Structure 1
Amino acid sequence: MRKRMIVFSIVTFLAMIVFAIVYHDEPREINEEVEIYTNEMSATELFIQKYLLLENGMIRTNFSDRKDGKLALSESLGLWMDYLVAKGDMTQFERAYKTMKEEFQLSNHLLSWKIEDGEKAQTNALIDDLRVIEALFKMGELTNNRDYIDEAVEMAKAIKDHHISNGYFVDFYDVEHEEKNDFTTISYLKPNALFYMEKYKVLQPNDVTNMLTFLKQLPIENGFYPQTYYLKEDRFAFEEEVNLIDQIYIGLHREQASVDSSILFDWLKETFYKENQLFGRYDAQTKKPTVTYESVAVYSLAIIYSLEKGDQIFAKDVYDRMIELRVADEGDPYFGGYVADDNTDTHSFDNLLASIAERKLKHAKVIP
């Protein structure tokens, strides 16, 4: 009996060493909240399932073609997969994975950025592919599904091969003409996806370090970040009219990379509490809104950004404003959806991001 105990102790000790080497030699921390998974379906998810999710697993972009949804985007698919990971919905995620493989994937493992009238575009979009890669890695680790992880690695290798130019990540790659563009849309850089790529040995530490340095050293004008970086000219471009979605994405990604973005965040809070709303676009100089519409996507990203900053009060206040735009009447056929006042249109981007934001609020126990 004593010999068995000694052997068991030795085996256990060796196993602990192997576990530490294999699973804890992670180059960088991936900033994720502790998630609590439930199968509860939100009202907005029910709306998505009923009106936007097609039989082939693709997401209808809007209501402009109710019959068969002639336009589908990899952006929508990635956001849907992101939501299903947050929900822990393995059944629906597997279906989305098959849709990705059968409908969107190009010959080199990158994803077509759009499918229109049944025709698959031969270019991809960096942010959409990175979003899917991150979702595959996360669900693969969550469920111990090696297929998801292996696919994420293959996609990550394609990103490395086709989306890095002189050490910078660029926006898209044209498979048909075998060409990449020569600029970076800064909001496309998703640190957590790149951290996974480093963890699984697709990227070298210096590849990720260069990206972190790039995000850290971004110039800022009047409180806003540049929209684009042009590689050949070594030039940042600022917009006269800023898209708040892009600005919040940049702030969020900086925070995920442990780079402070308080200048933008503080202005966002001040503006929201002063006006009790946020608009989609602002003049870069006057900081006055240039449009009259409120954006569900802006509110959703502001919630996610606030949670990343650890400001749960602001996140809840923004959420309370956002759901005022949601169809609240349970007798309405579009109950739970973010639909135009005249019920003529909706946007998958808004509904998907709102679903993700709501799920993250539940994880953080900000809402029940």
Structure 2
Amino acid sequence: MAKGQETTVQQIVSSHYVNDKGVIHAYPDDEKSEYLSESIGLYMQYLLQINDEQEFRKQVEILQNQFLVKVDDRYFVPWRVYENAKVNALIDDIRIAAVLDQAAQTFNEPDFGALAKQIRLPIESQQHQEGIAVDYYDWSYGLAGKRVTLSYLIEELTINTDSFNLLKLEKDQLFFPEYYDFEKERYMASDEVHMIDQLLIAINRFDQDIRSPEFDSWLLAEWEERGMLAGRFNRETGTPTVEYESLAVYYYLWQYLERIGKPELAKEAFKQAELVIGEEVPGELHFFDFIHYQMMVAAQ
């Protein structure tokens, strides 16, 4: 996977994905692309996975100096920087706080745990509806969002376990609704489904001991027939609406297949991801796809 003399993921990130302040941008060699809290959270997750304490500490400094914003006596992580964003993103905050807690143990650094607590505090105290964590909190208006995205309800959401009840849908179905709307008091579903969302929801349900037999049957049949998984599908027909494949889709497919006891198919998903990425790294890969693929590689 080497490109020139860049033989590690860290070297590729340093050469192609960061600006002069070390902040990760979305697309390689494009400093005008977005700078997302999602990216630093995923990179920290990868660095902890490979036990790179030195680079992890650098990312914590970047998080504190470039992302963390103080409002009154609270801190929040805007979902993107350099855009004067006044809202956070639940999934990114959970991921960052969880990896900081894990790193506090792995690297014997209590300050990481203290930072994780700071990031979680607003979610506990104000970012909820009816006691359930919601997608974001708007710090400019002091208002919590009115919906929760089901793919955000990852196992690490330990501070708001009532939220997991939303994963218990009234009936088994091929595809899951994307989010719950508190104003309309019902689940909302799009006509076209994104497989990253669907696989994440299936994983979240599995982690809460909720099985998804209809989705599983469709998924296994789709894989057996095509040997690949497209990025989007029609909700009603279960047929692909796009031709492209996504490395992040294969990461979550690999994770889900491992969970449901299909390790051989999980290996096939990894091999398909290898074919998709080809020889050119990073090429034009969005950081989200790039780092998910690298996390999958590191786990093999």
TM more than 0.5: yes
2:177 aligned residue: 226
Residue in 2 aligned with 1:96?
59
Deviation at 1:81, TM superposition (A): 0.9
Specify the alignment match of 2:35 in structure 1.
Answer: 72
Match for residue 49 of structure 1 among 14, 25, 29 = 14
Q: Is the 8 A contact 1:165 1:182 kept in 2?
A: yes
Shift of 1:288: 0.5
User: Tell me, which stretches of 5 or more residues in structure 1 are unaligned?
Assistant: 1-40, 196-202, 329-334, 340-344, 363-368
From 87, 99, 102, give the equivalent of 1:123.
Answer: 87
Q: Which amino acid aligns with 1:112?
A: P
Which residue identity does 2:65 align to in structure 1?
E
Structure 2 alignment gaps of length 5 or more: 1-5
TM-score normalized with structure 1 length = 0.74
- 1:331 aligns to what? none
Query: Is the CA contact (8 Å cut-off) linking 1:110 and 1:155 kept in structure 2?
Result: yes
* Structure 2 residue aligned with 1:172: 136
- Residue from 177, 190, 196 that aligns with 1:245: 196
RMSD after superposition: 2.0
In 2, distance between residues paired with 1:357 and 1:139? 19
Q: Which residue of 2 aligns with 1:350?
A: 289
C-alpha distance in 1, partners of 2:259/2:10?
23
CA–CA distance in structure 2, aligned partners of residues 177 and 282 of structure 1: 36
Q: CA deviation at 1:46?
A: 4.3
Larger C-alpha radius of gyration, 1 or 2?
1
Query: Residue type of the partner of 2:276?
Result: L
Contact 1:45-1:355 at 8 Å conserved across structures: no
Equivalent residue number for residue 76 of structure 2? 110
Q: Which has the higher contact order (CA 8 A, sep 6+)?
A: 1
TM-score w.r.t. the length of structure 2 is: 0.90
1:359 corresponds to 2:298? yes
CA distance in 2, matches of 1:169, 1:324: 39
SS of equivalent residue, structure 1 residue 272: helix
Question: CA offsets per residue over residues 223-257 of structure 1, 9 Å max, x none?
Answer: 11111101132201122111111001111112222
Q: How many equivalent pairs are there? A: 292
- Change in CA separation of 1:104 and 1:323 when aligned onto 2, cut-off 3 Å: same
| Percent identity (aligned) | 26
Aligned ranges 1:1-368 → 2 under 5 Å: 44=9, 46-63=11-28, 66=29, 68-107=31-70, 108-115=74-81, 118-191=82-155, 193-195=156-158, 203=159, 207-208=160-161, 210-215=162-167, 217-220=168-171, 222-328=173-279, 335-337=280-282, 339=283, 345-360=284-299, 362=300
User: Is residue 173–residue 181 contact of structure 1 (8 Å, CA) maintained in 2?
Assistant: yes
Structure 1 residue identity aligned to 2:203: L
Q: CA, structure 1 residues 48+265, in 2 after alignment: closer, same or farther (shift >3 Å)?
A: farther
Show CA shifts across 1:23-59 (max 9, x none): xxxxxxxxxxxxxxxxxx9755543332113342321
